Structure 1
Amino acid sequence: MGPLNGIRVVDLTTVLMGPYATQVLAQMGADVIKVEAPEGDVIRHVGPERNPGMGALFLNSNRGKRSLCLDLKRPQAREALLAVLREADVLVHNLRPQALARLGLDHASLAGAYPRLLHVGLTGFGQDGPYAGRPAYDDLIQGASGLSAWMATAGDGTPRYVPTALADRMVGLAAVGAICAGLLHRERSGRGQQVEVPMFETMAALVLSDHLGGQTFQPPLPGEGYRRLLSPYRRPYRTRDGHVCALVYTDRHWQCFLDALGLGDLPVHDRRFASFASRTAHIDHVYAFLQERFRERTTAQWLELLERIDVPAMPMHDLAGVLADPHLAATGFFQEIEHPSEGRLRATAPPVRWSDTPAPDVRPAPRQGADGIEVLREAGLAEEAIGALLASDALRLPPGRARPEG
């Protein structure tokens, strides 16, 4: 089930970037073992919750995983984790290098005993630069990568953060690609390796791919940023009764659009509309023109017209609109699953599909430590050893979970 079936990932990450990456790997079929400290992943407490430690944000970033709760400050817990790593293909973490080394889980400590292990560090910054030891969060990286400043340029002059954890999610996806590439290399060479995925550099590359502009050239040419993306008029168009998202983009789009409005000769009289290049050079004027036109009809009228003339358009959804979208309903995007402690939940299905290796069924995010005994038994630990870990509190189970006899 899934193209990564048979791949085992030991996940030491917390919050969003790492957990999102490993959730995607789980949706691809990997067996992901989420290793948590006794205090648990802090993101368990974000969002509405039916039970403590099972908040909505955690449930939506940790599907498909099993949970092992170990106090890695205790030597016996570290030994248990090393046993789990014997059958692992990937170790992924977002710990600072110094903390990882203190636990003896850095690449240098593990490479000799685990030569096929892919050792993946999700860091805030590349470890060979002056920011190496700094903490990093989504807000900081959005600002440092230039994204917040570009938001100010495109808006009312006020720097803003994108209202989603964009850096965490995008860097998480970059980590998925890096892990899959590392696994492919191991299949060819038989060797694991150390992989570093830094947030700052990854997001800077993403933002600058649009906005490096004249600084691409040495010496620099005038101009910075992708002008269309930075226009303050680039936003959903207000209609007579709501908003619509439309992109009148190519020469064909414009000809069809203007003909439908009875303005087919506009490019002849106003050369700002004559070509893709001239429209881009005068993008504020062009978008202001569109804003005025879209106010003349209702959202439904625009969506019908734009579909008929084959100009790209979509409704502007709020949360209720996304949940009710007919396309998402037809593709089975939303699923309802049963959680052992949280009851009935809505979950999103994996959006990527494989014809020969379909993704596994959605498995709900785990209670903290729910799978610890199962995972350690699979790692070859004897019942006596598991019992000793439980007795010392080096291994934790969910509250109310009965301990095995013997």
Structure 2
Amino acid sequence: MPAERGHRPGPLSGVRVVDLTAMVMGAHCTQVMADMGADVIKVEPPAGDNTRYISAGPEPGMAGVFANVNRGKRSVVLDLRSDEDRDALRGLVEGGDVFIHSMRARAIAGLGFGYADVAAINPSIVYTNCYGYGRRGPGAGRTAYDDTIQAECGLPSVQERLTGEAGYVGTIMADKVAGITALYATVMALFHRERTGEGQEVEVAMFETMAAFMLVEHANGAMFTPPLGPAVYPRAVSRNRRPYRTKDGHVSALVYNDKQWSAFVGAVKPEWAGERFATLEQRARQIDTVYALLGETFAQRTTREWLELLSSLDIPAAPVRTLDELFDDPHLNAVGFFETVDGPNGPVRFPGTPAWFSRTPGRVAGPAPRLGAHTAEVLDALGRGGQEAAWPGS
């Protein structure tokens, strides 16, 4: 079970977050903050965050996606069209360390909670904007979803190289990568504030985030002046780069560096091996051919035989699993990755925190809240006066 509120041991213990995000990008950012000890107040409109209703759940408004990215937070319902509720939000701002939202710039400013408004209440606050497109470009203010950002950052184009048809990847990658980027940007600003006392405004945009993410390896020759080639990393887009079919299934393996290659060739002795593939540089220039030949070789043994051999050679290899199988993975269970907490509808088994700390460990902060579950608790505390009163248990 999580530690009691106000006594969480994580590295962000004592950090107070006013969270006006919705959907996944910003919510994933603040979910990690909650797991790492922060007290996160999720401010929702009367209808609630849309993710409450988009997937399976034990009751209406408690869908699985929502439950995972909003675990351990406190839900406060405020109608920001109301003067009284805007005053309540200002009270939360006064006692907060972080203010984070995912509204369009015009909308948040129109409500009276742009950066200048919030900083006037609390000059030391870290104010994080989660946008689709940065405000300094022509895309500012455009609606953005994971699918459209995947398209603009080149992911479907890369998939077309692999499969022959443009397609999205099977996860909401743009939302999650942008959420993690918002997380580290916010924590960096908190670190600056810890050293200087200065608050500041932070902006994280999904499009810019995913452009940077995709171009880590794919910028390649296009980075140079003049360009030395197209923006693509050939190994990643080889159509033969896929799990290898075996006699009875599939196996993922990467015979990559020269040491691994020499060990593989020495043990398997494929007829096609020779000097033309002896070095990593040679194999990289012929990567489609190399993958195709390896595919023919892997078809000759069973998955188990390959896993045993490759393990003995210290060559990375793994079975191809389903997502459901992750819940029974022996490694994940041995390291305590999954954490079960009591939720409003019974126990919930959450995927836990992937980062480990020797002194300030994080953990699943608790179940996701029902809509407005903490409104009375938080607003009653505000009515008692003072910044600290706004945060029961602090």
Q: Tell me the TM-score normalized by structure 2.
A: 0.93
| Contact 1:124–1:200 (8 Å) recurs in 2 | yes
Q: Who is 2:378 aligned against?
A: 375
Hey, what does 1:244 align to over in structure 2? Answer: 251
Q: Residue 335 in 1 paired to residue 343 in 2?
A: no
Task: Find the aligned partners of 1:205 and 1:226 in 2 and give their Cα distance.
Answer: 14
Which residue of structure 1 lines up, in the alignment, with residue 12 of structure 2? 4
Name the count of aligned residue pairs: 377
Which of 336, 358, 368 in structure 1 is aligned with 2:361? 358
Counterparts of residues 311-350 of structure 1 (less than 5 Å): 311-340=315-344, 342-350=345-353
Matched, 1:213 2:213: no
In structure 2, what is the equivalent of residue 59 of structure 1?
67
Any idea what the Cα deviations from partners look like across 1:166-216, whole Å, max 9, x if unmatched?
Answer: 000001000110001000111112111110001111100110121112211
Kept in 2, the 8 Å contact 1:16–1:61? The answer is yes
Q: State how far apart, in whole Å, the 2-side matches of 1:46 and 1:276 are.
A: 46
Structure 2 partner of 1:73? 81
The AA in structure 1 aligned to 2:169 is V
Match of 1:13 in 2: 21
Does the CA contact (< 8 Å) of 1:8 and 1:87 recur in 2? Answer: yes
Deviation per CA, 1:299-345: give whole Å up to 9, x if none: 111111110111001111102321221101111112222112x2121
Given residue 287 of structure 1, which amino acid in structure 2 is its aligned partner? Y
Note closer, same or farther for the CA distance 1:274–1:223 as it changes in structure 2 (3 Å cut): farther
CA–CA distance in structure 2, aligned partners of residues 190 and 108 of structure 1: 17
Q: Report the counterpart of residue 84 of structure 1 in structure 2.
A: 92
CA RMSD, Structure 1 to Structure 2 (Å): 1.4
Match of 2:389 in 1: none
Query: Where does residue 231 of structure 1 map in the other structure?
Result: 238
1:104 aligns with 2:108: no
Q: What residue number does 2:134 align with?
A: 126
Deviation of 1:362 after TM superposition, in Å, equals 3.6
SS at match of 2:176: helix
1:150 correspondence with 2:138: no
Q: Which AA in structure 2 matches 1:305?
A: L
The corresponding residue for 2:170 is 163
Q: Is residue 338 of structure 2 the alignment partner of residue 296 of structure 1? A: no
Q: Give the letter aligned to residue 109 of structure 2.
A: A
Secondary structure of the 2:339 match is strand
* CA–CA separation in structure 2 for the residues paired with 1:226 and 1:199: 22
User: In 1, distance between residues paired with 2:228 and 2:354?
Assistant: 41
Measured in 2, the distance between the counterparts of 1:361 and 1:48 equals 21
Unaligned 5+ residue runs, structure 2? 1-8, 386-394
Structure-2 residue corresponding to 1:185: 192
TM-score normalised by L of structure 1: 0.90
* Superposed CA offset, 1:108-128 (max 9, x none): 112222101111000011101
Counterparts of 1:264 and 1:39, CA distance in 2 = 65
- Could you tell me how far apart the structure 2 residues matched to 1:235 and 1:368 are? 43
- The CA deviation at 1:230 is 0.7
Q: Check the 8 A contact 1:258/1:264 in 2, yes or no.
A: no
What SS is found at the alignment partner of 2:274?
helix
Contact 2:353 2:364 in 1 (8 A): no
Mapped contact 2:30–2:183 kept (Cα < 8 A): yes
Query: Any gaps of 5 or more consecutive residues in structure 1?
Result: 383-406
Structure 2 counterparts to residues 17-32 of structure 1, below 5 A: 17-32=25-40
- Which runs of 4 or more aligned residues in structure 1 lie more than 3 Å from their structure 2 counterparts after TM superposition? 377-382
Asked whether the equivalents of residues 129 and 204 of structure 2 are also in contact (C-alpha less than 8 Å), the reply is yes
Q: What is the rounded CA distance, in whole Å, between the counterparts of 1:6 and 1:297 in structure 2?
A: 56
**2:287 maps to what in 1?**
283
Alpha-carbon distance, 1:133 to partner: 1.2
Contact persistence 1:87–1:379 (CA under 8 A)? no
Q: What is the CA distance between 1:232 and its match in structure 2?
A: 0.5
C-alpha spacing 1:88/1:266, structure 2 compared with 1 (3 Å): same
Quote the offset at 1:380 in angstroms.
Answer: 4.3
